[in-house]
Amino acid sequence: MAGIIVHVVTFGKLPELDNAGRPKAFYSKRVHDSCYRRPYFDAGLFAENFDDEGAKKGYCLYKVGCKGPSTYNACGNMKWNGGVSYPIQSGHGCIGCSAKDFWDAGSFYSRDQSVVDGFIESDSDTLGKVALGAVGVGLAAHAVASNFAKKDDLKRRENQGKINEKQLEN
Amino acid sequence: MAERIVVDPITRIEGHLRAEVEISDGTIQEAFLSSTMVRGLENIVKGRNPKDVWAFVQRTCGVCTSTHATTSVRAVEDALGIVVPPNAEMVRNMMLGAVYLHDHVVHFYHLHAFDWVDVVNGLSADPVKTSQLAQSISNWPKSSPGYFSDLQKRLKKFVASGQLGIFANGYWGHPAMKLPPEANLMATAHYLEALEWQKEIVKVHAIFGGKNPHPNYLVGGMACSINLDDASGLNAERLAHVRQLLEEGKRFVEQVYIPDILAIAGFYKDWGAIGGFHNFMAFGDFPMEGYNNTNPATFKFPSGVILNKDLTKVHNLDLKDLKTVEEHVNNSWYDYSGDPKGGKHPWVGETNINYTGPKPPYTHLDVDQKYSFIKTPRWKGQAMEVGPLARMLVGYASGREEFKEIIDATLSKLQVPAGALFSTLGRTAARALESKLVADWNLEFFDKLIENIKNGDTRMANTEKWETSTWPKEAKGVGLVEAPRGALSHWIVIKDGKTENYQQVVPSTWNASPRDPKGQRSPYEATLLNTPVADPELPLEIIRTIHSFDPCIACAVHLYDEKGEIIKTVNDISVCTV
């Protein structure tokens, strides 16, 4: 609200609005798009439950209900209370409070339905079968393949890092 | 003949509150308090996943935004037998402690102070004398003559512009205002400083819960994992920030809030004999050895009930006994199955809304019929005051040294008898005194968290019963929290993994409810009786007592004469700033 007043005072006009009538300055991107944990989503590294190893390492919160993939808001850019933190940074998934009818879109802890089924959890064989029956086969397959490549790459780097550390200690 | 005046809306935390008061011979003879707004969250959460409910009921209020969430997760944990890790307990304590400091400071300076402080009168203060006054009561650095002189110039400009903004239309110049100009100027300076300060302390919530208002909670613990060797969890940097915020909060309470309360109270000792109630109840809070611990000594705020101002005995709560707590709807706009005059325990409580009041706009409520959306809760058939005064008195009567020390020192400093505790002044002072206790405890909670981590315990959530499949077919639980405004309880019945029934019995339900079937008054209605009102057109005295219970929300006070004509509209300066 304050942001809109500042915009009007500074530029002498209302800010541009999205199709839901909200200022684009704050609602043009998904929480998912500005998420600093996004690389872990792309790499398939998730917190499987609250306070587990993945949660402690700051992995993606999609599997514990984060609605970032379907929620348009600027929490990840602006953060809250003078930039101190925002829900995902403090370990809880986005509950999607600026998404339409979010309170009736299933539990705050169920997986975001906007993410394609099987995209995250299945192995590559199953995904291949899913992808064959789906529209936009090529794109999906490419995305899946690149995700698995990233995951492997991340694991390889992590292992290499451990080897390097050991060498330094010796 | 008594003159019936209506004050509507008075502030209340989650909605509108209306007072209809009859005055004759300059004192209040009769009072009816009504909430004209329905909450109904109980019906909204029915059928939902109990793990989600905290986020819904948290929206009951936008001010004390942590308390309903804490109460809700405690209710679910109680039902399912979940014990949260000690770290999560300390984090919840610090978050609640931050709410206390934020709520009490904001309530005093921004909702209550201008019932006692005359901003416009402060324009004629001598800045040098104001500085001397400020420095004689506190070490707070912002106290030079130049500081007060600058502020006064800004205020004068403000008033001269004719646009008073937040200071518009208060009770300026009212005969019940007693402070000298210097005290008025000093308190106004602190009003403005508190506005700045209040946005800092809530950062504790942002660090642990991601944001304020409405930080995130979790059934089983908290979501903010500890990882000292990673930027993604609670680490030394995050924790140091919390420590700094808690210390700054403590400093403001000690150097600004407490000295101001003592200085202002000295001019209003007559309010130590006005606005008192006789029964007090506290649920207790701030567990040090686990919320499930049955030893009351392990809670910073002890639990108990005081009857008829008798501080020699503290009665046990026995809350889970189905007959101990009952809510009545004999004067409330709800229907009950079975006996309409009977009470219902919250576990079998019902929220069947049925408004039978007059069609708006109306002049007066028909108080011979149902007249409020607030139900009437009773403890063993008795009306109870809940809130800071109840907590301080239960602590005092329980023989807790730190409570006795701070209360006795205050009584002696103000040179008032112990009976002055049972009053509007006592209620307002108790809020400040407990802020000092909580500010100290916050650092204990912090140290305990650090100690725990040092000992190798980094658990933050217990997820053993996260999956609904691990739950019993049916379960029921209660969550109890000492919210800043008073004893708060949520009652849940879980069936087949879903919320079968949910009832919130909030502090305002205890304090602001209409009469019960025996005709007993609840605290708001009772404490207004016999209050002198100097000018019925400007009923500052009503506001003083009602505000002393800590209602909230921006309000405009409209006064009507007996024919329903508006005779005066006073925009109250109690602006909710959060």
Percent of chain A with pLDDT over 70: 69
Q: Using omega within 30 degrees of 0 as the cis cutoff, is the peptide bond preceding B388 cis? A: no
B576 in catalytic set: no
Q: Using omega within 30 degrees of 0 as the cis cutoff, is the peptide bond preceding B377 cis? A: no
Which pLDDT score, from 0 to 100, does residue A125 have?
43
Selecting among B12, B18, B68, B102, the annotated active-site residue is B68
Q: Do A51 and B212 touch (CB under 8 A)?
A: no
ipTM, interface predicted TM-score of the complex: 0.89
B508 in catalytic set: yes
Of A5-19, A89-103, B12-26, B395-409, the range with the lowest mean pLDDT is B12-26
CA–CA dist B494, B347 (Å, integer): 10
**Structure confidence by residue, pLDDT tens digits, B110-124:** 889 989 999 999 999
Q: Do A50 and B220 touch (CB under 8 A)?
A: yes
Of B22-26, B109-113, B290-294, B548-552, the range with the lowest mean pLDDT is B548-552
pLDDT: which is higher, B159 or B94: B94
Encode A86-120: b = buried (16+ Cβ within 10 Å), e = exposed: bbbbbbbbbbbbbbeebbebbebbebbeebeebeb
Which pLDDT score, from 0 to 100, does residue B111 have?
86
CA–CA dist A102, A113 (Å, integer): 12
**Structure confidence by residue, pLDDT tens digits, B335-387:** 999 998 899 999 999 989 898 998 888 888 888 999 888 899 999 999 999 99
**Structure confidence by residue, pLDDT tens digits, B232-264:** 899 999 999 999 999 999 999 999 999 999 999
Selecting among B12, B20, B35, B61, the annotated active-site residue is B61
Phi and psi dihedrals of A85, rounded to 5?
-170, 180
Angstroms from A147 CA to nearest CA on chain B: 22
Please compute, for residue A7, the number of CA atoms within 13 A of its CA located in the half-sphere on the CB side.
13
Report which of A81, A90, A113 is spatially closest to residue A36, judged by C-alpha positions: A90
3-class secondary structure, A75: helix
B555 in catalytic set: yes
pLDDT: which is higher, B163 or B194: B194
Q: Do B221 and A108 touch (CB under 8 A)?
A: no
Mean pLDDT value across residues B135-148: 98
Encode A41-53: b = buried (16+ Cβ within 10 Å), e = exposed: bebbbbbebbbbe
CA–CA dist B304, B394 (Å, integer): 6
Mean pLDDT, chain B, whole residue set: 90
Confirm if B376 and B331 have CB atoms less than 8 A apart: yes
Residue B386, phi-psi category: left (phi > 0), alpha (psi -120 to 50), beta (remainder): beta
CA–CA dist B461, B89 (Å, integer): 10
Angstroms from A19 CA to nearest CA on chain B: 27
DSSP single-letter state for residue B244: H
Angstroms from B239 CA to nearest CA on chain A: 12
Q: Do A109 and B51 touch (CB under 8 A)?
A: yes
3-class secondary structure, B397: helix
> Is the pTM of the predicted complex or chain greater than 0.95?
no
What residues in A contact B51, CB-CB < 8 Å?
Answer: 107-109
Residue with tokens 């016999």: B530
Q: Do B216 and A86 touch (CB under 8 A)?
A: no
Q: How far is CA B195 from CA B102, B181, B248, B549, in A?
A: 10, 21, 14, 21
Please compute, for residue B300, the number of CA atoms within 13 A of its CA located in the half-sphere on the CB side.
24
B68 in catalytic set: yes
Residues contacting residue B550 through CB under 8 Å, at least 6 positions apart: B13, B103, B107, B111, B112, B387, B388, B431, B484, B485
Mean pLDDT value across residues B278-306: 96
Residue with tokens 């709410």: B99
Residue in B211, B231, B459 nearest the CB of A51: B459
Q: Do A84 and B203 touch (CB under 8 A)?
A: yes
Q: Any alpha helices (H) in B422-560, and if so which ranges?
A: 424-454, 507-512, 523-528, 540-548
Confirm if B320 and B478 have CB atoms less than 8 A apart: yes
CA–CA dist A28, B164 (Å, integer): 38
3-class secondary structure, B495: strand
Confirm if B373 and B333 have CB atoms less than 8 A apart: yes
Longest dimension (CA), chain A: 65
Query: Which of A31, A48, A50, A158 should we substitute to test contact with B (largest number of B Cβ atoms within 10 Å)?
Result: A50
Phi and psi dihedrals of A117, rounded to 5?
-55, 135
CA–CA dist B329, B370 (Å, integer): 8
Check pLDDT > 50 for residue A133.
no
What residues in A contact B207, CB-CB < 8 Å?
Answer: 84-85, 90
Residues contacting residue B409 through CB under 8 Å, at least 6 positions apart: none
